[in-house]
Structure 1
Amino acid sequence: MKIVLATHNQGKIREFRRAFSEIGWEAIPIADVADVPDPDETGTTFEENALQKAHYYAKAVHMPVLSDDSGIIADALGDRPGIYSARYAGHHGDDEANNRKLVQDLSPYTGEERKGRYVCVVALVWPDGRELTAKGECEGIIRDFYQGHGGFGYDPLFYLPQYGKTMAELPMEEKNKISHRGRALRNLLEKLKGHMEKQ
């Protein structure tokens, strides 16, 4: 079985490929399949955005498509950055600028006030319109200094007290077990097994 990954993010592509290889599926990045413009993300929730992207690409490539929408939420900032995490500082995908803005916005807060969580919703959509979604979350503390060189995005700021490490310090295997994306993918794979058994 082949599915198309609706992302250009190399970090996500590695994580998705690894997860789907466990059930014998081949995951192919959209860039290897078709040259289509990215859709506008006009949803107001992670789930709406994930489904919007997956339906858009499934129609374009006529194959099952996996999409995700994910981000970080700082409790002290309401739901921010939330669905705007990738473009929090204004330019999509500028990790350094996004991290700086989050550190700046959280500067009045200390200790427990800096609690936050990563959220991920994954959506799998078939060309005939069938869809499956799943959600994962991971809680931690958003620090004001970087630690670790792994991961991507806000990972060097996202501290996991139970591990004594940031997300960027965890080996990939360990990260996949506890990350929001890892949890969302496991939830999706469970749903997928049930879905396939009904076919």
Structure 2
Amino acid sequence: MKILLASNNAHKRMEIEGVIRQCNASATIVQPRDAGFSFDVVEDGTTFAENAFLKANSLAMLLRGKKLPGVTLDCSLEELARRIDALFPDRLPPVLADDSGICVHALENRPGVYSARYGNVPGSPPLDDEGRNALLLRELAEKPDAVRTAHYVCHAVLYHDPDRFIQVQETWHGEIAREPAYGETGFGYDPLFTIPGYGRTVAQISQDEKDRISHRAKAVTALLRAADRLQETGLTGA
């Protein structure tokens, strides 16, 4: 089964492909760039679920020749149709989208759905991962260790068609370290997110470990299992 990921994020693709390997699933991830296009959507939802579905539905509608409000596309709908048909000649692919973020309990679950845009100021360049991590540490500077708890959230959607889609939300609980601890893996807030029982941040564990225990790993695993069940019933194509 080929799945079109509603993102050109290389880190996200790598993690999802790692989860697929862990599950021994027969799925191949394709990104928009593989079909020669890019799209964007205004993520104006107030929950992870709203934003994940918004991304999945927006891309799925583009594949069906309709551009929804708030969606930008770097080619015409006609050209997109030709490119998709070349890559998926038999049928339109299911679309996989997720919205993820970190909720810090002492900050009333901020940054939450705004995790990727945390600290951004209109008219100024957006903060990078390092800048967002530094801002989070400043906001927690006076907080004792006992209240530095947090959890990651991943809401994932596997969209087959407008009448058939699967949604899963999973979490991953931990604590915010007092300074970043880097390793060879991880991105975003991973250098700050300490895993109970590990004594390390997410950035310090192996990618294989992360692909087994993370919020995204749990959500994607559940989606793949549900998709397998749908295929067995004949409700979806391969």
What's the TM-score bracket when you normalise by the shorter of the two chains?
A: over 0.9
| Structure 1 pair 36–60 and aligned structure 2 pair: CA distance change class (3 A) | farther
Partner of 1:148: 182
Say if 2:191 and 2:201, in contact at 8 Å, map to a contact too.
yes
SS at match of 1:197: helix
Normalising by structure 1, what TM-score?
0.93
Unaligned 5+ segments in structure 2 are 64-91
Question: Aligned to 2:110, what secondary structure does the other structure show?
Answer: coil
Aligned to 2:2: 2
RMSD of aligned Cα (Å): 1.6
Per-residue deviation, residues 135-187 of structure 1 (Å, max 9, x unmatched): 11111111121112321000000011311110001101111111111111112
Specify the alignment match of 1:89 in structure 2. Answer: 119
Matched, 1:63 2:93: yes
Q: Secondary structure at the match of 1:184?
A: helix
Structure 2 distance, partners of 1:33, 1:130, is: 24
Q: CA deviation at 1:115?
A: 0.3
SS in 1 for 2:41: coil
Q: For the structure 1 residues 33 and 142, does the alpha-carbon distance in structure 2 shift closer, same or farther, using more than 3 Å as the test?
A: same
TM-score normalised by structure 2 residue count: 0.79
Q: 2:17 and 2:214 mapped to 1: Cα distance?
A: 16
Matched, 1:43 2:45: yes
- Equivalent pairs counted in the alignment come to 199
Percent identity reads 38
One-letter amino acid of the counterpart of residue 103, structure 2:
I
Letter of the aligned partner of 2:150 in structure 1?
Answer: G
Counterparts of residues 5-44 of structure 1 (less than 5 Å) = 5-20=5-20, 22-44=24-46
Note the residue ranges of structure 1 that are not aligned, 5 or more in a row.
none
Aligned to 1:191: 226
The amino acid across from 1:58 in the alignment is A
